[in-house]
Amino acid sequence: MRRTPTNRVYQFCKRKSMKKTFFRCAAYLAIICSIICCQSTQKNYVKENPEMDAKKKLAIKTGQVINGMTEKEVEIILGKPTFVEKREGEQQRWIYRLVEKGKNLAEVYTPESSFPQGIAYIIPFYYRPLEIRVDICDKVVCRVEEILSF
């Protein structure tokens, strides 16, 4: 095959396209691996602690934080907290901000989207909270708050 300027441009573009495709595939693979690793961490923790009660096992598998969990269990489910507030004695409050960066809070939640019932609003079960506050007393969860609106 004879090398002409047109063929050189074509070959160059073809190589660039392959690089883009490779990096896209690598990015997708990294995302999939991180999701699988997170799920396997939760499953492994449940398998490594068979003496744990059924309520905690179910909460860890579904990704919910409940009273009585240890700090390690909360970190397995939610990761590192966004903020940590020190309180008196051994008490702490771990705050997880779940609002996407660049989004206005008004865009994420509006009271009009809930259902008015008498003097209060019924919030649908599937609403994602904007913030989760976990109070830890003596290295065990003693209170969990899910904040829907600021």
Token representation of residue 66: 């409940």
Question: Considering the entire predicted model, what is its pTM?
Answer: 0.58
DSSP string, 95-133: EEE-SPTT--HHHH--GGGSEEETTEEEPPTTPPPSEEE
User: Helix and strand tally (H, E) in the chain?
Assistant: 4, 6
Domain ranges of the chain: 1-48, 53-150
Q: What is the pLDDT along the chain (150 residues), one digit of tens a residue?
A: 555 555 665 565 566 666 667 677 677 777 776 666 555 678 888 888 889 889 998 988 888 899 999 999 999 888 899 999 998 888 999 999 876 655 554 555 555 555 555 565 555 556 677 889 999 999 999 999 988 766
CA angle 80, 89, 63 (to 5 degrees): 30
Checking DSSP bridges between strand 83-86 and strand 92-97, what pairing results, if any?
A: antiparallel
Domain 53-150: top CATH class:
alpha beta
